Chain A
Amino acid sequence: MTSSYLHAPGFIAGDRPKIVTSRFEYADSYKIDRFIATGGYQGLRSALSRPAQTVHDDVKSATVLGRGGAGFPAGVKWGLTPQEVWPRYLVVNGDESEPGTYKDRLLMERDPHQLIEGCLIACYAAGLSQCFLYIRGEMAVAQERVAEALNEAYEAGYVGKNILGTNFSVDIVLHWGAGAYVVGEETALIESLEGNRGMPRLKPPFFPAANGLYGQPTIVNNVETLANLPWLMTNGVDAYTAIGTKTSPGTRMVAVSGHVVRPGVYEIVNGTTTFRDLIYGQEFCGGIRNNNALKAFVPGGGSAPWFTSDQLDLPFEGSQVGAAGSMLGSGAIMVMDETTDIPAAALTLTRFYAHESCGKCTPCREGGTWLERILSRVVDGKGTDADLAQLIEVGESICPGDFPHASNEALGLTAVPFPYKMTTICFVGPSAYVPVHSALTLFRSEFEARITKRTMIKVTAVGVSS
């Protein structure tokens, strides 16, 4: 067995523009010497050589979209802080844990200085006087790499008091969690950072930009979002917007997992690359394993409604995917081939969200587990027709009204666009229903088959390995 400790594997380079993965080819990409030798901290110098407001304006006009899931432009987010309320904080969301998602950990393990540089640029531009870098508790190596990088950067004068001899001073504090998916939600992240149970707060009134950490204006940005900033500062807005589309400029890190030939993490051109490119393209995943047929795929992390081959030609672009009934989320595609046991696959996600409920909102706490129990029974072949109806009923208590789903020609379905209505504070509760609804809408017959047989079906694995 190879020692996979030193390098997070999974990244697959290609002949494409690289904004955040340019150093991944070096074995010592995480060391400060390599970082500086490859243009590191040049973006910071470039930012500091201009007034903060100009830097902020650049981030705004470059339309750097948030890479955490919601896709909100970072520059706009920074501008939502109330006037003249100080201090303001930066909280870096490194709590990557959305099913299917694997990119922030790569960025932290492979190029921690790039992230640190991004944090510094954000703090400078938005007047944030302390930065808390929150890394998921289970990511031991990411924590080590970032700690080591911070120690190096402090020592070298890039972080801390009077950075590069200027009046710009900011501390970056490494913080780490202890295992709770919901903490990836920004208000829960703040609660957790305050030493509390990581339970989301209602927005409004708790919009972090106005009322965040310790009640102060707080910017919460995703790791990948911040990792974009050094390149943007070094190369300029025009170079950045030249990549991708007007609404989705730059690149995105996308993890494609499941039944593909070459699962991996790719830095792709934003807005133009299609799902077909990603799943079937030779420079990407190279198709489905064993030349099997594609059954379904999750386009944007476990919380996203499912697509089928009908949606393959959609580009990786937020508004189009939203109109088609799903979301891009955190850049995670999970591919299911024809051998997949759909109810069992749906159960793995519903179980995840039920397990990760913080317990605050009734519909999520009670409904998520209820969904899991029913679905589990159905998967075990012990379900009834009433159970299928009950799944929808429980789901509607979490998300009343029309629920988004993809169009499907064979089934005669037209798309219901994203998003859904919800009775919960955050997306964990609805996300428990998403796989249930998608699977039942697109593959109802598989559920009915389980029930009409009325026999025990022993399910040993999801998707028969071949």
Chain B
Amino acid sequence: MSTTESHNEAEIVVDPNAVSMTINGKTVQARKGEWIIAAADRTEDFIPRFCYHPRMESVGMCRQCLVEVEGPRGPMMVVSCMTPVAEGQVVRTDTDIVKRAQEGMIELLLANHPLDCPVCDKGGECPLQDQAFSHGPGESRYVEEKRHYEKPIPISGLVFLDRERCILCDRCTRFADEVAGDPLITFTHRGNNTQVMTFPDEPFASYFSGNTVQICPVGALTAEPYRFKARPWDLQQQESTCTTCSVGCRTVVQSSRDEILRYQGVDSDPVNWGWLCDRGRFNFQSTNSPNRLSTPLIKTESGLVSASWTVALDETARVLRHAQPGSIAILGGARGTNEDAWAWAQLADALGVDMRDAQLDDGLPAEIFGYPNATIDDACSAATVILLAPDLKEELPVLYLRLRGAAEKKKIRIIEITTHDSGLTRYAWKSLQHEPGHQAETVQQMLSTPEMQEQLGRGSVVVVAGRSNLAEAAHHTMAVVDTIATTVSQVSVLPVLRRANVRGALSLGLAPRGTSDAAAILEASANGKVDCLILLGADPLSDVPDADLARRGIAGARHIIAIDTFLNNSSAHADIVLPAAAYGEKDGTTTNLEGRVTNVAQSITPHATSRPDWMIAVELAALLDHDLDILTLQDIQTRITQTVGGFDGLSVSVAVRKNGVLVSVPPISPLQVHHDAAVKRNAYEFRLVVARKLYDEAIGTAMSQSLAALAPGAGVFVHPHDLERVGAKDGSSVRVSNTTRSVILPVHASMTVARGTAFVPFNQKGVDIRELLEATNGVTDVQIANIS
């Protein structure tokens, strides 16, 4: 950096939106369109507030943030949350009349508040409590009978509502309507009887309900998993990144006595704006689960038995040492940190392992990263967003929030190309439905429509690309992404592969070498060509769409080493199981779907004897005489920044900051896209769509008691007309068959499913739909028969 700075007057660019004003006599720089309270938040003069929230529209409702602004007829009292800044504006927050008004407001808010702070979860972190001390009159003269309501009432499986504590600030109700798009809680009744409620006997079933608890300025809304668990002053906290999916929401992990008790969203401007989905917020319960693996396990004649780390690592090293060259395979790595992935990639390199894939045949080929990269902000400010993705509300909920918000504010136009209605369908400018496997025709049609052409010519186009249908081969999506990328100008791609660090793992060495992707590895294993299959936080038996392939692959492997937090379907078949440290139990960094590297922080000691993945890799390398020259996490981070292209600008101290740092990764492998013709229907009348719901049998959900019950369970959804055609009643059982196999599922009518297709949620409790999926076919056609 230059130490001699000279400013030429002519060089100073005057920002036309800059506004200079004073607050309590001090000059403040602000921008046109900003509210006074936002400008004041950059000064030392705190304006008390309850209803104002910087990520929601102001309503000017609680009246706590009154200030005085000089006007033509003397000082005027205005709410600072809804009065815009202006050039030369003179604001006072400290006059007697302002103080009187603010004190009066606190007294009025406390009038009907039960003051049950000693038994309230919010006590100690309560804006009402804090501001009653800082801006209140110090006493209440309210001697009347207070409002009484039944307290507290569950308004969903996760959230409790205590209407007596509520100060009617409209934050939760505004969030539900404005941010989440789930207006299932509203104000009801009027005046002094106003309350927040759901429709009678209908739950606040929103994937984002936990946010209302976080933004509630009193203890009116509490979350079931945290109720009466801790006091704020007993909590330790670490800023971190949620690794439930690949959006990478910033969080604070709060723990007490070495137990994680709560996650809170942190406002990261380019990512989550402070919001979290409920799955990300509440799945910390799985970390505390008693079902976690405590010690290494080794297979004996009597099954898997506990072993010491020394024995287990020695045994692992022995297996690896005796494997034939080229017969070791690694599946997984997308659930760990960047450092975990890199260390395992180093070990793989040392052992000459080519068979590696961080994905499980349920995403898109790593080539997707080869297109010009879009960030979340790029997508939310693009002229056009083309969705070729799974239902983002179900798989990447906070990305859904961001895109929904941008579409609602008319900042972007969404063109959705989908097999069934998604959460974003109602916000899309155009939603083009196609039969699975026929997206190429739909895209061709779109590209040739004058109206669409005009829209696509309006500015930047971001393609949000992911695996929308697990019953359909990935190349269908890749082909149309490629068509759009090569036909339309100003295109960039936001890949939405869902596992938290899939991008980091693929970038740091766990991408397939050549054609040896997960499917090929499992096929090789089925054919007896794998001596040792390493499952790095991977559960192929649960996640690989082709269940038969997964079964054959697991059965065919001579040895299986599993590194995981739980014993799952696949690791139960392992010869050696090594317990891994979970999220919150280790430090490191993670890379989100847009390539943003942020830190994950250790808040508690790893469960029992479990260890971070990277440490296991380093120790194994040492036992195999391949010194990786790594002692600490920092060593890995230094090596990554020195050796991995794109990560060279990265320093961990930067990543720890809440917005992290974007890394650019050169194309992982050359693009080779197959443009196959659409697959013709066989005689069967339904084409299958299989996709994930937010809550399923995934281990983090299933092992979190608050979330487990929210999974909808297995079933098949068809259009009401199709249901009639099948002759089945809603909820009755039907037989769903492909040419060779069949399963029995409850059937439901749904208007969101196109006629002639059948939607089945993936990985739900009950019958496994994967029995009908075949890797060799590009699509899956089934018939449905009424059996009741």
Asked if chains A and B come from one complex, the reply is yes
Interface residues of A (CB under 8 A from B): 180, 197, 202, 204-205, 354-363, 365-370, 373-374, 386, 390, 393-394, 396-397, 400-401, 421-425
Instruction: Answer whether A361 and B61 are a contact pair too, CB < 8 Å, given A202-B82, A396-B104.
Output: yes
List 24 A–B pairs whose Cβ atoms lie within 8 Å, in order of A's numbering.
Answer: A197-B187, A202-B59, A202-B79, A204-B83, A205-B84, A358-B190, A359-B193, A361-B62, A362-B62, A362-B64, A362-B168, A363-B104, A363-B108, A365-B168, A365-B191, A366-B109, A366-B112, A366-B192, A368-B191, A370-B144, A374-B144, A397-B104, A397-B105, A423-B63
User: How far is B109's CA from A393's CA once the two chains are assembled, in angstroms?
Assistant: 15
List residues of chain A with CB within 8 A of the CB of B142: 370
List residues of chain B with CB within 8 A of the CB of A361: 61-63
0/1 per residue, B93-136, Cβ < 8 Å to A?
00001001100110111011000000000000000000000000
**Within 8 Å of chain A (Cβ to Cβ): is B77?**
yes
Q: Is the beta-carbon distance between A368 and B192 smaller than 8 angstroms?
A: yes
List residues of chain A with CB within 8 A of the CB of B66: 423
User: How far is B167's CA from A360's CA once the two chains are assembled, in angstroms?
Assistant: 10
List residues of chain A with CB within 8 A of the CB of B60: 202, 425
Our pick among A358, A363, A370 for the contact of B191 (Cβ within 8 Å) is A358
Known pairs A359-B189, A365-B168 / 11 extra A-B pairs, C-beta < 8 Å = A202-B82, A358-B190, A362-B64, A363-B104, A366-B108, A370-B108, A370-B142, A396-B104, A397-B100, A397-B105, A400-B97
What distance in Å separates the Cβ of A235 from its nearest Cβ neighbour in chain B?
A: 38
User: How far is B684's CA from A188's CA once the two chains are assembled, in angstroms?
Assistant: 57
0/1 per residue, B69-91, Cβ < 8 Å to A?
00000000101001110000000
Instruction: Answer whether A367 and B108 are a contact pair too, CB < 8 Å, given A197-B187, A390-B141.
Output: yes
Our pick among B82, B100, B144, B190 for the contact of A180 (Cβ within 8 Å) is B190
Q: Is the beta-carbon distance between A360 and B61 smaller than 8 angstroms?
A: yes
Q: Is the beta-carbon distance between B192 and A400 smaller than 8 angstroms?
A: no
Q: Is the beta-carbon distance between B141 and A393 smaller than 8 angstroms?
A: yes
List residues of chain A with CB within 8 A of the CB of B84: 205
List residues of chain B with CB within 8 A of the CB of A365: 168, 191-192, 194
What distance in Å separates the Cβ of A288 from its nearest Cβ neighbour in chain B?
A: 35
For chain B residues 756-770, which have a beta carbon within 8 Å of chain A? none
Name the CB-closest residue of A to B62: A362
Q: Is the beta-carbon distance between B111 and A370 smaller than 8 angstroms?
A: yes
For chain B residues 135-150, which have a beta carbon within 8 Å of chain A? 141-142, 144
What distance in Å separates the Cβ of A319 from its nearest Cβ neighbour in chain B?
A: 15
User: How far is B719's CA from A30's CA once the two chains are assembled, in angstroms?
Assistant: 53
Name the CB-closest residue of B to A180: B190
What distance in Å separates the Cβ of A364 from its nearest Cβ neighbour in chain B?
A: 8
User: How far is B105's CA from A362's CA once the two chains are assembled, in angstroms?
Assistant: 7
What distance in Å separates the Cβ of A24 from its nearest Cβ neighbour in chain B?
A: 35
Instruction: Answer whether A423 and B109 are a contact pair too, CB < 8 Å, given A365-B194, A396-B100, A397-B104.
Output: no
Q: Is the beta-carbon distance between B100 and A362 smaller than 8 angstroms?
A: no
User: How far is B109's CA from A367's CA once the two chains are assembled, in angstroms?
Assistant: 9
Name the CB-closest residue of B to A372: B192
Instruction: Answer whether A362 and B109 are a contact pair too, CB < 8 Å, given A370-B144, A424-B63.
Output: yes
User: How far is B417's CA from A384's CA once the two chains are assembled, in angstroms?
Assistant: 71
Instruction: Answer whether A397 and B101 are a contact pair too, CB < 8 Å, given A366-B109, A370-B111, A390-B141.
Output: yes
List residues of chain A with CB within 8 A of the CB of B112: 366
User: How far is B190's CA from A368's CA once the two chains are assembled, in angstroms?
Assistant: 13
Q: Is the beta-carbon distance between B82 and A359 smaller than 8 angstroms?
A: no
Name the CB-closest residue of A to B100: A400
What distance in Å separates the Cβ of B86 from its nearest Cβ neighbour in chain A?
A: 11
User: How far is B59's CA from A423's CA once the two chains are assembled, in angstroms?
Assistant: 14
User: How far is B142's CA from A394's CA once the two chains are assembled, in angstroms?
Assistant: 10
Name the CB-closest residue of A to B187: A197
For chain B residues 43-65, which have a beta carbon within 8 Å of chain A? 59-64
For chain B residues 296-344, which have a beta carbon within 8 Å of chain A? none
Instruction: Answer whether A400 and B141 are a contact pair too, CB < 8 Å, given A355-B191, A362-B108, A366-B109.
Output: no
Q: Is the beta-carbon distance between A354 and B191 smaller than 8 angstroms?
A: yes
The 4 closest A-B pairs by CB, nearest first: A397-B104, A359-B194, A357-B191, A366-B108
User: How far is B236's CA from A83's CA once the two chains are assembled, in angstroms?
Assistant: 57
What distance in Å separates the Cβ of A178 from its nearest Cβ neighbour in chain B?
A: 11
What distance in Å separates the Cβ of A367 from its nearest Cβ neighbour in chain B?
A: 6
